[in-house]
Amino acid sequence: EVQLLESGGGLVQPGGSLRLSCAASGFTFSSYSMTWVRQAPGKGLEWVSAISGGAGVPYYADYVKGRFTISRDNSKNTLNLQMNSLRADDTAVYYCAREISYSSGWYRPFGKWGQGTLVTVSS
Amino acid sequence: DIQMTQSPSSLSASVGDRVTITCQASQDISKYLNWYQQKPGKAPKLLIYDASNLETGVPSRFSGSGSGTDFTFTISSLQPEDIATYYCQQNYNLWTFGHGTKVEIK
């Protein structure tokens, strides 16, 4: 069974940093692209960042480019998101998700999701 | 960037009703459109991918259609367990979600 378990969320002051992790199990982690999606309280879904399987090519939404860094450790089946220069509008539940392998697109839909971890940016 | 316009933002329907949600892309995205269901306090769930393909295990009352810029998501007979917010998402160039449609029971 595929499982994704996020950790690392919490309360941080504006300008601060936080590192999220997602522990994956139940599949060959290195073979899949992984992504982070966030949801601000009471708001919709927002794609944040993704990283390809294999070579680990990163992709970022414009509003986090230069502040967030996505990485993966295939030996530990772990996805990470280093978040720096955090702002109040980064407050959200952050979900880790895995692509589906059977979609025909280059950028694939997200078929498996974790339960999310809450990041609160406030003084 | 590709923008996704989803409508309506909310709807109320009776059990057994046919429910339709539309999603319009700001440019041609071919068939690269997906639909997700999110229940309160839960992670999203993929229902439809590549515009019309039903994800494994998803009930057949859910369906999707469209290509290019205009897409439709349909629940053929609304059930109480379908109460949720539904999102479209393009994956033609990176990923963008629509703003969501909250479905309630009348």
Q: Which pLDDT tens digit goes with each residue over A82-106?
A: 999 999 999 999 999 999 988 888 8
Report residue A56: phi and psi, to 5°: 70, 45
Q: Taken in order A100, A101, A105, A106, is the CA torsion positive or negative?
A: positive
Please say whether the beta carbons of A107 and B91 come within 8 A: yes
Residue A50, token pair as written in the block:
């993704």
Which among B34, B38, B43 has CB closest to A109? B34
pLDDT band for B7, please (50, 70, 90 cuts): very high
pLDDT band for A57, please (50, 70, 90 cuts): very high
Query: Tokens 């078929």 — which residue?
Result: A111
pLDDT band for A77, please (50, 70, 90 cuts): very high
Flag if B95 and A116 touch (Cβ within 8 Å).
no
How many of the other CB atoms lie within 10 Å of CB of A6? 23
Share above pLDDT 70 across residues of chain A, in percent, rounded to a whole number: 100
Flag if B43 and A113 touch (Cβ within 8 Å).
yes
Flag if A104 and B34 touch (Cβ within 8 Å).
no
